[in-house]
Amino acid sequence: MKKTAVTAMSVLLSMSLAACGASPEEGKKEAAAGSKPGEKTKITYWTLDRHDADYIKEVIEKFNTTNKDNIEVELVVKADDYAQALDLAFAAAQAPDVFRVKEGSVIQTFYKKGYMAPIDSYLTDEQKKKYPAMPDQNLFDGKLYSLPNYGSTMRLVYNKDLFEKAGIAKPPTTFAEMVEDAKKLTAAGKATGAYGFALPFKTPASAWNRSARVMAELSGYGGFGYDFKTARFDMSGFKEVTKAFKQMRDDGSTLPGMEALDIDPLRAQFAEGKIGMYLSYSSEPGVYKSQFPAKINWAAAPAPTIDGTVKGASGFLGGQWLAINKDSKKKDAAWKFISYMNGDDILQTYHEKGYGISMVPSIIAKAKKPEINGIEGFLPNKYDGVWPTQPTVNVQGVKYEDAFWRYILEGGDLDKIVADLNKRYNEALDKAVASGDVKVTPDPSFDPAKMQGSFAK
């Protein structure tokens, strides 16, 4: 894997990190709070990741038994209500000392809510040079809040056995092919109760962000409905994706009960051969190796586009991992744990086991290719790239993922739905800009195709 723009960004940003951050004494005064001499300093770590849970449990157990600072970490794995659970925990002053942060609007929201403590003062000069910190992903207003570990690609995951049974030679490259293939797969799987397509629409945002997002991006549209050329929201890029999803459901090609399906039950059904195809992240190989051992032959392929032409880039997601609770009384202990988790041996093993594709250049340079079934289709290709960060707004009313999902279920006037979404999202954007919470600048020359290849080998 080439040392690309990520490496350059790391070098450019490393100099700025030294001047940022809180006083080193602040964390030291708080670190010992709540513990007596000779007692263990207990800290909690919350994560929403399940695909790597077994490995993370192992490395935390090792930390608990080998660290010289008498620190003990309690791991808590949350489900899809992770963000809400964190909100409640912070409101009740019971938030974890360390918590998992994710890309894009998630970490931006955490920053705006004041959940995270800056970590600049803890980093050594070597660490400042090592990690490719990114603005609006790790860095906010000149301060660093999280170090990157890995990123994720998004692909179409498909059941090779069912495709062969249905007489389909290759995965679909257009929306129309996807709809037609779903019908063929459902017909071929009728005897065994298999269906052509599924998504975990119990949480529409989760389903949308692992499917429609990448299909829109590859087709040349912003994956969150934001147009960087005009600096305005424009949800029309989701119209063809929405129509395709609705057509598959109307055709009876989707797994029954999809509206109540979460991602793990979907994976369990796929592993048993009951689903022909779905879209998701590069964490899937690890899932089917340990969490839901697959009983089928499966693979991953690029997501389809509107007409088979790639006009944009598949968003390479990631850039964050662990953050420290701003209100934690044990920040020093929390940082020692984070520093341990960012050790080369842990990051390299994480990459090689296929839990995530490393974003740290020094790890990429020495790590072996992950040896895990299905990872080949997820490895970065010439169409993967990093999109700019879209603005986060507090829109009034139904969110776009829920609005499109309602259309898939009930129908309606899609043009009116898009117009309403554009109106409400741009009103929220204007309000955020007026208050100074958001800054946006139109870029008439923006070309999503120019982002292709940022992480290609």
Model pLDDT for residues 250-272, shown as the tens digit of each residue: 999 999 999 999 999 999 999 99
Residue (of 107, 141, 150, 122) closest to 16 by Cα position: 141
| CATH ID of 154-315+393-446, from 3.40.1020.10, 3.40.50.300, 3.40.190.10, 1.10.3210.10 | 3.40.190.10
DSSP state of 195: E
pLDDT in tens, 288-306: 988 899 999 999 999 999 9
Q: Which residues pair with residue 314 across a beta bridge?
A: 384
Is residue 414 within 8 Å of 407, Cβ to Cβ?
A: yes
Sign of the four-CA dihedral 428, 429, 433, 436: positive
Average pLDDT over residues 6-29: 40
The CA-based angle 375-3-299, given to 5 degrees, is 10
Alpha carbon distances (Å) from 362 to 122, 133, 236, 289, 319:
20, 14, 41, 27, 15
State the span(s) of the chain assigned CATH 3.40.190.10. Answer: 5-152+317-385, 154-315+393-446
Average pLDDT over residues 397-425: 97
* Confidence at residue 207, expressed as pLDDT on a 0 to 100 scale: 94
Looking at the domain 5-152+317-385, which fold is it?
D-Maltodextrin-Binding Protein; domain 2 (3.40.190)
Is residue 59 within 8 Å of 348, Cβ to Cβ?
A: no
Q: For residues 381 and 157, what is the distance between their CA atoms, to the nearest angstrom?
A: 16
Most confident of 43-57, 413-427, 440-454: 413-427
Is residue 200 within 8 Å of 289, Cβ to Cβ?
A: no
pLDDT in tens, 345-386: 999 999 888 888 888 889 988 998 887 899 999 988 899 988
Is residue 360 within 8 Å of 347, Cβ to Cβ?
A: yes
* Confidence at residue 23, expressed as pLDDT on a 0 to 100 scale: 44
Q: Which residues pair with residue 152 across a beta bridge?
A: 317
Angle between helices 414-435 and 239-250 (to 10 degrees): 140
Per-residue pLDDT for 34 more than 80? no
Q: For residues 149 and 356, what is the distance between their CA atoms, to the nearest angstrom?
A: 8
Q: For residues 369 and 353, what is the distance between their CA atoms, to the nearest angstrom?
A: 9
* Confidence at residue 400, expressed as pLDDT on a 0 to 100 scale: 97
